[in-house]
Amino acid sequence: MAGVKAFFNVTNKYFHLSTHTKSSNIIYRYISSTSSVPRDVDIVISGGGMVGAAMACALAHNEIFEKKKIILLEAAPERGKYILPENYTNRTCALSPATVRLLESFGAWDEIKEMRYQPVKRMQVWDACSDALITFNNEDLNDDLAYIVENDVILAAIMNRLNAAGDNVEIHYSTSATSYKFPGEIDDEGNKESWLTVNVSNGQSLRTDLLIGADGFRSSVREKSNFHTMNFDYKQMAVVATLHLSESVENTVAWQRFLKTGPIALLPLSANLSSLVWSTTPENARNLLIIPEDSFVDAVNDAFWNDNDKDPLTGRILESFSSILQNLLPVGAVSKQLPPTVIGVEEKSRAAFPLSLTHSSNYVKPRIALIGDAAHRIHPLAGQGVNLGFGDVSCLNEILTKAVGLGSDPGSLKHLLEYETKRQRHVIPVMATIDGLQRLYTTNFSPLVLLRSLGLHTTNSLHFIKNRIIRQASV
Amino acid sequence: MNTIKYSNRLIKFLCNRSDFHGLCRKTAHLFHEEQVHWRKKSFSLSRHFRTTSQRLDLNDKPKVERPRAQTTIDEEEIKRFSALAQLWWDEEGEFTALHTMNELRVPLIVNALIEQKQKTGAESHQFKAHSQLEGFKILDVGSGGGILSEPLARLGAFVIGIDASEENIKIAQAHVIRNEEVACNIKYICATVEDLIESEERSFDCVIASEVVEHVLDAPMFIKACCKLVKPGGSMFLTTINRTNLSYLLGVVAAERLLRIVEPGTHNWNKFISPQDLQYLLDHNGFSTRLVHGMMYNPVTKRWSWTENTSINYALHAVCTDQALHVDGQT
Ligand SMILES: Cc1cc2nc3c(=O)[nH]c(=O)nc-3n(C[C@H](O)[C@H](O)[C@H](O)COP(=O)(O)OP(=O)(O)OC[C@H]3O[C@@H](n4cnc5c(N)ncnc54)[C@H](O)[C@@H]3O)c2cc1C
Ligand SMILES: C[S@@+](CC[C@H](N)C(=O)[O-])C[C@H]1O[C@@H](n2cnc3c(N)ncnc32)[C@H](O)[C@@H]1O
């Protein structure tokens, strides 16, 4: 035994001697070329929105990352302890069962249950221009289709679980990434960078194996590292509000009606409150924000109830919509029910958001992975936005676990590509159909944009063959 | 008592290495004469050869053994790898196939070693997923840029990587240095297996030579030397290319000339060795073969998969069953 020990000591000594002469110039070079000495960390997550925070939380609760150093950067200041407000907030999400499983895996779902949420047992989608109708529910109405939760509640639950986890994740609030040095870049001395360095607004620089971009749809990680991005402005706004319903009902049905100007949805929040997401023209949206509350309530009721838009074309649209959702949800019996009547709108709960489609043709590059809206932002008409982001978290967590289990470098492209392939296989069809559906309503119908993004993706995967052909031709 | 002798020898061995790194440079001229002497004996000594023999001269071994101890190095091969040294860590580059091979060989090694440990009565051993190899001392022969050494060290093993090419050793060292935790677990040394025998005989839980056997000059001698370094009950892992018509067609003609997965000239079919021959060699050195498994490379996905078919690439795991060697000490 003693012999082995001696060996270790001596080899350590040897190692220091040899690195001194051979590699100290590498270290020296690094110090002289940056203002501050970079801090080495294993993973940096840029953006602590719902998706970035969930990523940090998944890694924090994953035993295999116990010894890794992970930093979460969030531009916004720390919110302090979250106290559930009496009034519901106007930003909500419909969480899918898969998302709930992810949140359960690190205890955040229990936190949400202790705060508040509303299950959706049935969903009815119908059309303003035809009699087409489709409903979704599980057979016995016992299993929930989705859960409506306020964004603030989701984030607070995740942050509570993140703070309760081990100390392998550090959260830096009021801190944003300002610039990046990407692997492969040549420094002043002509050396190729192997790692990725993130310069942060507090003057620090972080050198990391992997940068996860979770910084939303205007992602600076994505822009600065030149991901090819497809962008489309729907020239639509989503009006959100918290609404009071006429009678206290069980309120577990989500309602959605396709109007000529876009879909309007009513999502249950509590026995007598529902959340509104109404996609419409910018003019109409602006108008809806300024009209008196009772006129607003009338406008909402009219949108759900009026009958003067009948048009045969839209029957087709509903058909294609139901065909996507049928893959995701069990189809229920076709019996039209009537939506509840809205009697009031929560004071100051009206707001509007521009709607756009953003898709990054790639989700990964060496040492970079994009998740959530940074990679894909879709129209909220199917309520899938954040669920796709949480799906990214589950998938990336799984793939990084495998990579670390293999003793591999977590920023290695061979693992990240697996994440990209898996996710794009899931995200692109959802996106394409939702986009296609949306486009049927818009005047500047332009499938070219989408074709371009999908087409590009295919040629990228043919990269290998392309390379081979070029190389062979030059032999 | 034995251990003192053992570690003394080690210190000596390691001091010799420091000479190589300039610490004892002043003594180098002492060996100049030696070199001239060897050259006269019409050995075509390249730079690597000279540096290794120079270092070896510090060992007070009988001098006649020197040329023999070097015979597994094929100078042409080493030059080829040295020229590619900068590319080791480019995952999309020349060595992609070695990077992705980790997906097969790392689990193979990890699982076998854990089983080995559990068999030797350490059932109370708690394996943490991120440090499954803690406590194992591994030798990676022909470690190249450290593509395999690093993952093993990351999983907690103490790894010594040796390579005949000084350039490769430098690249491997420069790459690992940033990650302190991993760097503590790895030592890279420019040496051959033969160099280690004197000080490290029977000291490794596991010796690996992955994609190396097909590049050495004298496979029987190379295998013998590797075998001597494994503890009784310890493991040897080899991956290499079979000597079949198919392997010639795919390994040399297709991989090098047509598809250019690897640089032309990387492989010399005559040096390929069949699993049967390898088993025979291992047998003679007191090893019993536990597993021979084919590996298949898909050049489009750039991924490896296990296959029954061993006619091209294969992996072999053998265990040292020879107690006698251990009891006798040296043979
Ligand atoms: C009107 C509307 C309704 C929606 N309804 C639904 C729904 O019902 N169901 C659903 O699933 N989805 C819905 N979505 C989509 C959903 O809100 C988004 O998909 C989700 O918020 C994306 O989360 P994220 O964490 O990826 O991005 P974000 O929430 O945008 O978070 C990004 C975070 O990164 C931080 N940040 C940005 N830049 C930096 C930087 N340089 N450095 C550090 N930090 C930075 C920001 O401060 C922010 O906290 C809806 C969207 C809209 C607009
Ligand atoms: C194909 S590479 C394999 C590298 C590494 N084992 C891996 O799998 O990533 C072969 C390596 O073996 C080294 N090599 C060849 N002959 C050797 C010998 N006789 N002794 C030590 N190293 C040798 C070469 O320098 C080269 O780095």
* DSSP-derived 3-state class of residue B97: helix
Structural domain includes residue B260: yes
Q: Say whether pLDDT at A49 is over 80.
A: yes
DSSP strands (E only) in A31-185 = 39-46, 70-73, 92-95, 118-120, 122-127, 133-137, 146-150, 169-172, 177-181
> Tens digits of per-residue pLDDT, A376-423?
998 776 667 899 999 999 999 999 999 999 999 999 998 999 999 999
Banded model confidence at residue A139, pLDDT cuts 50, 70, 90: low
Please check whether residue B40 lies inside any domain of the structure: no
Ligand lying nearest the CA atom of residue A219: 1
> Which residues in B78-111 are b (16+ Cβ under 10 Å) and which e?
bebbbebbeebbbbeebbbbbbbbbbbbbebbbe
How much is the average pLDDT of B135-153?
96
Residue B17 has pLDDT above 50, yes or no: no
CATH number reported for the structural domain that contains residue B315 in this entry: 3.40.50.150
Which A-chain residues 353-372 have CB contacts (< 8 A) with chain B? 366
Q: How confident is residue A153, by pLDDT bands cut at 50, 70 and 90?
A: very high
| β-strands A196-200, A205-213 pairing | antiparallel
Q: Which residue has the tokens 């997401």?
A: A277
- Sheet of A92-95: strand order equals A92-95, A146-150, A118-120
For residue B56, the surrounding DSSP H or E stretch is: helix B47-56
Contact assessment for residue B254 and residue B248, using Cβ atoms and an 8 Å cutoff: no
d(CA A103, CA B284): 57
Instruction: Give me the pLDDT at residue B87, please.
Output: 85
Cβ <8 Å between A40 and B302: no
**What spacing in Å lies between the alpha carbon of A217 and ligand 1's midpoint?**
7
Closest approach atom of ligand 1 to CA A148: 8
Enter the pTM of the model: 0.79
B121 touches chain A (CB under 8 A): no
Closest C-alpha to ligand 1, atom 27 = A216
Ligand 2 atom with the smallest distance to the CA of B82 is 25
- pLDDT tens-digit map of B43-100: 332 333 333 333 333 333 333 333 444 568 888 888 877 777 778 888 888 899 999 9
Judge whether residue A290 has pLDDT over 50.
yes
- Band of pLDDT at residue A464, cut at 50, 70 and 90: very low
A83 interfaces chain B, CB cutoff of 8 Å: no
Which distant-in-sequence residues (6+ apart) come within 8 Å of B100 by Cβ? Answer: A414, B302, B303, B304
* Selection from A12-26, A374-388, A432-446, B282-296 with the highest mean pLDDT: B282-296
Mean pLDDT of the A207-214 span: 96
User: Could you tell me which residue, B10 or A415, shows the higher pLDDT?
Assistant: A415
B113 in a structural domain:
yes
Task: Read off the pLDDT of each residue in B205-220 and give the average, rounded to a whole number.
Answer: 94
- Domain of residue B85, residue span: 73-330
Instruction: Identify the weakest region by mean pLDDT among A177-191, A357-371, B206-220.
Output: A177-191
Contacts across the A-B interface (CB distance below 8 Å): 115
ipTM above 0.85 for this complex: no
The answer to the question of residue B249 being in a domain is yes
Residues of B at the annotated binding site? 105, 142, 163, 210-211, 214-215
CA distance B214 to chain A (A): 25
User: What is the sign of the dihedral through the CA atoms of A15, A21, A25 and A31?
Assistant: positive
Alpha-carbon gap: A291 to the closest alpha carbon of chain B (Å) = 58
Question: What pLDDT was estimated at residue B38?
Answer: 33
Give me the mean pLDDT over the A274-284 stretch: 94
| pLDDT-wise least confident of A28-32, A258-262, B280-284 | A28-32
Among B103, B23, B98, CA closest to B58: B23
Kindly report, as residue ranges, where domains of CATH 3.30.9.10 are found in chain A.
Answer: 92-155+234-354+440-473
Ligand nearest, relative to CA of residue B222: 2
Rg from Cα positions in chain A: 25
Q: Give the Cα separation of A35 and A200 in Å (integer).
A: 12
Give the closest-approach CA distance of B24 to chain A in angstroms.
12
Copy the structure tokens of residue A366.
Answer: 């060496």
When mean pLDDT is compared across A21-25, A60-64, B190-194, the lowest value belongs to A21-25
In this structure, of A131-140, A145-154, B95-104, the range with the lowest mean pLDDT score is: A131-140
Count of domains observed in chain B: 1
Taking the centre of ligand 2 as the mean of its atom positions, its distance from the CA of residue B263, in whole angstroms, is 15
With CB atoms and an 8 Å threshold, state whether B179 touches A207.
Answer: no
The CATH number of A92-155+234-354+440-473 is: 3.30.9.10
Highest mean pLDDT among A164-168, A369-373, A456-460: A369-373
Test A63 with B150 for CB contact under 8 angstroms.
Answer: no
* CB-CB contact of A273 with A118 (8 Å): no
At B31 the pLDDT is 32
Ligand 2, atom 3, residue with closest C-alpha: B211
Task: Name the closest-CA residue to atom 8, ligand 2.
Answer: B210
**Range with the lowest mean pLDDT among A229-233, A347-351, B148-152?**
A229-233
- B23 falls within a domain: no
Q: Is A241 a residue whose pLDDT tops 60?
A: yes
Q: What is the reported pLDDT for B219?
A: 92
A362 Cβ partners below 8 Å, 6+ apart? A227, A228, A420, A460
pLDDT score for A378: 86
> What pLDDT score does B76 carry?
81
Which candidate, B186, B193, B242, places its Cα nearest to that of B216?
B193
Domain covering A2-87+166-231+358-431: architecture: 3-Layer(bba) Sandwich (3.50)
Strand, coil or helix: what is B173? helix
**Residue of A211, A215, A256 to test ligand 1 pocket, by largest number of atoms within 8 Å of CB:** A215
Distance from CA of B301 to the nearest CA of A (A): 9
Residues with CB under 6 Å of ligand 1 are A 46-52, 73-76, 93-94, 176-177, 214-216, 220, 238, 240, 277, 353, 372-373, 380, 383-387, 389
B258 to A472: CB separation less than 8 angstroms, yes or no: yes
Query: Tens of pLDDT along A312-330?
Result: 444 555 555 555 555 555 5
For the ranges A157-171, A418-432, B287-301, which has the lowest average pLDDT?
A418-432
| A250 vs A100 pLDDT, higher one | A100
pLDDT, average across residues A425-441: 71
Cβ separation of B203 and A15 shorter than 8 Å?
no
pLDDT at A28: 36
**What separation in Å is there between the alpha carbon of B312 and the centre of ligand 2?**
19
Whether the per-residue pLDDT at B127 is higher than 90: the answer is no
Picking from B6, B92, B106, the nearest residue to A413 by CB comes out as B92
Asked whether residue A172 carries a pLDDT value surpassing 80, the answer given is: yes
Helix (H) or strand (E) holding A376: strand A376-377
Residues B97-111: what's their mean pLDDT? 95
Q: Is residue B195 part of a domain?
A: yes
More confident residue, A250 or B144: B144
% of chain B surpassing 70 pLDDT: 71
B302 domain-assigned: yes
Residues of chain B contacting residue A11, judged by C-beta atoms under 8 Å apart: 14, 160, 187
Q: Does B22 touch chain A (CB under 8 A)?
A: yes
What percent of chain B has a predicted confidence (pLDDT) above 90? 47
Nearest Cα to Cα of residue A225 among A423, A411, A2 = A411
The pLDDT of residue A156 is 97
Q: Which ligand is nearest to the CA of A55?
A: 1
| Distances B36 to A67, A76, B20, B31 between C-alpha atoms, Å | 53, 71, 19, 9
Domain with CATH 3.50.50.60 in chain A: 2-87+166-231+358-431
**Residue B163 CA, closest ligand 2 atom number:** 22
Lowest mean pLDDT among A31-40, A45-54, A149-158: A31-40
